[in-house]
Amino acid sequence: MMFVVLLGTAGGAFSAPVHLRCQYRENPLGIDASAPHLSWQSDSTERNWKQSAYQILVASSSEGLRSGKADVWDSGRANSDESVDITYKGPALESRKRYYWRVRVWDKAGNATESAEDAWWEMGLLRPEDWKAKWITWKNPDSEPDRNKVRWIWVKGQDALAVTAKSSASFRVNVPLSHPPRSAVLLLAARGDFLATVNGVEVGKKHGWGAFDRRDIGDQLKVGDNVVEITVAAPNIPKDEAQQTTKAALAALVKITDPDGSIQRIASGENWQASAGNDSWQPANVVAELGDRRLGDPGPMSQPAASFRRTIEIHNTIVSARLYVTALGSYRVFLNGKHLSRDVLTPEFTDYRKRVLYQTYDVTEHLNSGRNQISALLGDG
C-alpha cells in the first residue's frame, strides 16, 4: 500500500498540462479566427488536484519557444483555474503563419509545471486579398439544350398561380424505346411536393424542394413503351398568412442517351398529359417559360461531376506547401493522383449566398521536383 501511495504522490507532484488544443483541434491548419481559443488538460492523478494559475507562451518558432523566448505573446501569470476556451490576446496574427505555444500551470500549493508536447497552430487566409485564385467552372455544352424547351405546366382549367393548398395534380409522358439506353435521367423542378415514378416504380420524391432534382432512371426503362409519371401537391399555406391559394407547377425533362451517343429530350409541355386526380387525362397546360419570375427560375439543371486539372512545374527545394480549396458544390481534390483527404461533401454545408467554407491541406510531402498535376472533381452540392 505504501508503494501505491508514493506513486500517486509522485504523479501529483509532476502534473503537467497535456492535450493542448487550438479551436478544439490538435495542431490545426487553416485557422481563420483572429483570436483563437486555446485549451488544455492536466495529467495529474492526485485526488482533488486543482490548477490555481496559468501562463500561455506563444512564439514564432519552436526553437525560440524551447529557449523561453515568447516573441509573439506572453499572457503573464493569470490566477485562474480555467483551462478551456482561453482567448489569445496577443498581437494581430498573420495569414498562413505558424505559431508555437506551450502552457505553464501552478497548482494550489504554488508548484509550477510546463507542457512538454510540441503544440502549434497555423493561420489560414484572414483577408479577402489573401486569395489569389479565381473561380473556375465547366460550361456544360448540354446546359442550354437541356433547358431550352422545358416549360412550367399545370392542369387546364386551373390557375397555377392560385391553386388551393394541398391540392394535387399528376403528369405523365410516354417514352418509347427500341433498344436499351446507354443512360437516362429525369430532371424535374416543382412548385410544391413531388413524387416521381417510372413504370410504377418510385424513383424520387421531395418536400419543399425548389431547385432541379436529378434521378437516374436507366434501370427502370425497358424496350417498348415506358410511362414517366409525376404527382405534384401544392404547398401548404402557413397559418399566419391570410392568403387562401398558392402557386403550383411542374418543369421536367426526360433525357435519354442512346448507345451511339445521340440524345433524346422529352421536355414538359403540351406533349405531356395532366390529370386533376379524376382519372381523366388531357394535354397539360403550358403555364410559363422556365425563367418566368412569377414561378421563380429553379436554376441550372443538375449535371455530371466535372473534372479539372492543371500541371505545375517545381524546381526549387520545397520547405512547406499548402493547398487552399473551396467550391460552390462538392469537391474532391487530388495531387499527382492521390486523394488528399478522406472527407466527403467538402467544403461542408452552408448557404452559399452568405458564406463559403474552405479547407487547408499540407501538401509538402505530395509534391515532386519537376512536373506535378493537381486535379479535382466537382459535383452539385
Q: Evaluate whether residue 160 is within a structural domain.
A: yes
Q: DSSP secondary structure string, 7-20?
A: HHHHHHHT--EEEE
Same domain, 259 and 348: no
Return all residues near 148 (Cβ < 8 A) that are at least 6 apart.
267
- At 240 the pLDDT is 66
Domain that residue 81 falls in: 2-126
If asked whether residues 162 and 228 sit together in one domain, one would say yes
CATH code for the domain in which residue 263 is found: 2.60.120.260
Average pLDDT, consecutive stretches of 10 residues, N- to C-terminus, the chain (381 residues): 39 74 97 96 89 96 91 97 97 97 95 93 95 93 93 95 92 96 96 96 93 94 97 84 85 96 96 89 96 92 91 94 95 96 90 92 95 95 74
In this predicted structure, what is the pLDDT of residue 3?
A: 39
Same domain (yes/no): 262, 367: no
**Are 186 and 87 contained in the same domain?**
no
Q: Which of 62, 95, 126 is the last residue of a domain?
A: 126
239 and 116 fall within a common domain: no
How high is the pLDDT of residue 320? 94
Q: Tell me, yes or no, whether 32 and 149 share the same domain.
A: no
Predicted pLDDT of residue 6: 37
**Residues 313, 264 within the same domain:** no
Q: Which three cell numbers stand for residue 187?
A: 430532371
* Environment class of 30 (CB within 10 Å of its CB; exposed 0-12, middle 13-18, buried 19+): middle
Q: Decide if 296 is inside a domain.
A: no
Q: What is the rounded CA–CA span in Å between residue 4 and residue 160?
A: 81
Q: What is the pLDDT of residue 68?
A: 85
Question: Are both 280 and 331 inside the same structural domain?
Answer: no
Residue 300, in any domain of the structure: no
**Would you say residue 132 lies in a domain?**
no
- pLDDT for 197: 98
Give the contacts of 287 (CB within 8 A, at least 6 positions apart).
151, 152, 153, 154, 160, 161, 249, 295
In this prediction the pTM is 0.77
At 208 the pLDDT is 86
Count of domains observed in the chain: 3
Answer yes or no: do 75 and 179 share one domain. Answer: no
pLDDT digits (tens, 9 = 90+) for 141-165: 999 999 999 999 999 999 999 999 8
My answer on whether 100 and 236 are in the same domain is no
Same domain, 151 and 242: yes
Q: What is the pLDDT of residue 14?
A: 57
Give me the pLDDT at residue 334, please: 97
CB 196 within 8 A of CB 202: yes
Are 120 and 66 a contacting pair, CB within 8 Å?
A: no
pLDDT of 278 reads 73
* CATH code assigned at 94: 2.60.40.10
> Is residue 283 located within the same domain as residue 159?
yes
Is residue 183 assigned to a domain?
yes
